[in-house]
């Protein structure tokens, strides 16, 4: 019984825990995400081939050598701790090189995340205009609030915000998909996270759908000035 339990608790939440990015058949989806947080790009074709071209615009090449990517059995592409330098075009093709789906992804640098708590009076970044040859408008595109971390008692919830640029009449786009190889050092160009209080009723349907986790205890060795603690299966996206 114990053996089965371990096996199940190990394999099931790992699949469940993936943040899946999908886009409809033969379309191009543009998206901002955060670096350092695992994602899966969906492509529903067992013999899928994935190609990549960075935002610097080099020639597209077959993805098979990055240590942090893995093609899943169904065809989707798993990226473990993607880096800002891995921003670019991810293209999924079938074996006859016909397009199935493509993603243009801006992995915004999570180490520059601007974090504010709404109920502590901390202010998110202001909208700004920036002169890059012409005037462009920089703002944060907020995702919806995520679930409250408690129910029937006071809790907190968060939302992520991505740096976007708008140059009317064009549609806004993620900052680094717009800037590409333009070297601008400007402190407004960063992703954000906002936290606020919440109080929600418990939803029994939701409670039973929670994954199960394995708890483990590690003895920390000699304390050093810098230490990195990783919470297994945690994701900033939920
Ligand atoms: C900033 O710009 C966004 C997008 O145009 C807009 O929704 C938001 O209200 C603006 N915020 C402020 C404080 O002007």
- 73-114 pLDDT per residue, tens: 999 999 999 999 999 999 999 999 999 999 999 999 999 999
> Of the ranges 67-76, 136-145, 181-190, 215-224, which one carries the lowest mean pLDDT score?
215-224
Other Cβ atoms closer than 10 A to 73:
6
According to CATH, the topology of domain 15-108 is Immunoglobulin-like (2.60.40)
- Whether 127 is in the pocket of ligand 1, judged by its Cβ within 6 Å, is yes
Q: How far apart are CA 198 and CA 204, in angstroms?
A: 18
> 113 CA distance to ligand 1 centroid (A)?
19
Q: How far apart are CA 51 and CA 59, in angstroms?
A: 10
133-161, pLDDT tens digit by residue? 889 999 999 999 999 999 999 999 999 99
Index of the ligand 1 atom closest to the CA of residue 166: 5
- CA-nearest residue for atom 10, ligand 1, is 127
pLDDT beyond 60 at 167: yes
- CA-nearest residue for atom 5, ligand 1, is 139
- Residue 106 has phi, psi (to 5 degrees) of -105, 105
Domain ranges of the chain: 15-108, 110-198
Q: Is the distance from CB of 84 to CB of 109 less than 8 angstroms? A: yes
């Amino acid at each position: 019984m114990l053996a089965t339990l371990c096996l199940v608790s190990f394999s099931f939440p790992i699949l469940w825990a993936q943040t899946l990015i999908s886009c409809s058949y033969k379309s191009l989806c543009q998206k901002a995400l955060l670096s350092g947080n695992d994602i899966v790009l969906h492509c529903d074709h067992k013999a899928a081939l994935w190609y990549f071209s960075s935002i610097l615009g080099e020639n597209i090449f077959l993805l098979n050598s990055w240590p942090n990517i893995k093609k899943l059995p169904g065809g989707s592409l798993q990226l473990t701790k993607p880096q800002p330098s891995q921003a670019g075009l991810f293209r999924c093709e079938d074996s006859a090189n016909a397009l199935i789906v493509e993603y243009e992804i801006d992995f915004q640098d999570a180490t520059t995340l601007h974090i504010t708590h709404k109920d502590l009076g901390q202010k998110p970044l202001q909208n700004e205009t920036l002169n890059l040859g012409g005037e462009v408008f920089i703002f944060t595109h907020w995702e919806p609030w995520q679930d409250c971390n408690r129910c029937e008692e006071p809790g907190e919830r968060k939302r992520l915000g991505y740096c976007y640029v708008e140059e009317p009449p064009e549609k806004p786009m993620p900052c680094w998909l717009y800037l590409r190889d333009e070297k601008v050092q400007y402190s407004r160009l960063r992703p954000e996270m906002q936290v606020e209080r919440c109080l929600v009723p418990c939803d029994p349907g939701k409670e039973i759908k929670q994954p199960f986790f394995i708890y483990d205890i590690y003895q920390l060795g000699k304390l050093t000035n810098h230490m990195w603690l990783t919470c297994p299966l945690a994701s900033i996206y939920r």
